[in-house]
Amino acid sequence: MEFSKAVVTSGPTREWIDPVRYISNASSGKMGFHIAEAIAKWIPEVTYIHGQVQGEYRSPEGSRRISVETTSEMKDAVLSEIQGATILIMAAAPADFRPAESKESKIKKEDGSEVILLELVKNPDILKAVSSEILRKLIPGCCLVGFAAETDFLEEHALGKLKSKNLNYIVGNYVGKNEKGFGEVETSVVIYSPLGKVAEIGPLSKALISERIVEFLKTDVSKVVTRS
């Protein structure tokens, strides 16, 4: 199979509570940025869809970029760019929940109450939306690669996500406070396919980890398990 177009997502999304506050996470965009730079050396057309990444991770060399803010916007951008794509790598950390209501004015803390309850609703799952389009044969043969950011039980959770999101590969990594997984740190990843653990990479810089992930995919995709 010829790999002609890649879509790579990166960074966190933001879900606004009111005009000055939002829900997000600690993703910097670094991993997705380096994946996009590495894959551009292999695949001629790369679209980089990013959330609110740090400035230096906005424009990977060799990619066309699309900036989004919320998880719904990232889903719309992915579904529109995935047409004609042969591989999707979701290194982004989209917010899983959003406030049920985003207030038009700043919520005041001077109203006397000590507790403020925030009702959250689930965001759409982007990878599940894409894999259902594949199953519906609207984008046949597209290779789906997810990331699993876990604080514990990496293999169990990563394989669970691989299965539930119907992916070809998932790249598992540990994340958490104290310089783990997010941002500038050196890190380690484990790649899983439906066959189980297929590669371990690191600890290395994210630039080198990304190159190794892309090298692995380049040589292994011929063995991609066909979906039924």
Could you say whether residue 217 binds ligand PMT (CB under 6 A)? no
| Binds ligand PMT (CB under 6 A): choice among 8, 15, 87, 94 | 94
Q: Which is nearer to ligand PMT, 17 or 175 (CB)?
A: 175
Count, residues near ligand PMT per rule CB under 6 A: 28
Per DSSP, the three-state class of 72 is helix
CA neighbours closer than 13 Å in the CB half-sphere of residue 152: 0
Q: Which is nearer to ligand PMT, 183 or 202 (CB)?
A: 183
Q: Contact region for ligand PMT (CB under 6 A) — 37-45, 178-186, 196-204, 216-224?
A: 178-186
| Binds ligand PMT (CB under 6 A): choice among 38, 39, 40, 91 | 91
Spatial neighbors of 131 by CB under 8 A, at least 6 apart, are 144, 165, 166, 167, 227
* Distance separating alpha carbons of residues 14 and 192, to the nearest angstrom: 29
Q: Which two tokens stand for residue 178?
A: 């104290």
How many CB atoms lie under 10 A from the CB of residue 191? 20
Report phi then psi at 192, rounded to 5.
-120, 145
Could you say whether residue 47 binds ligand PMT (CB under 6 A)? no
Binding site for ligand PMT (CB under 6 A): 11, 27-31, 71, 90-94, 96, 123, 125-127, 146-149, 161, 173, 175, 181-183, 206
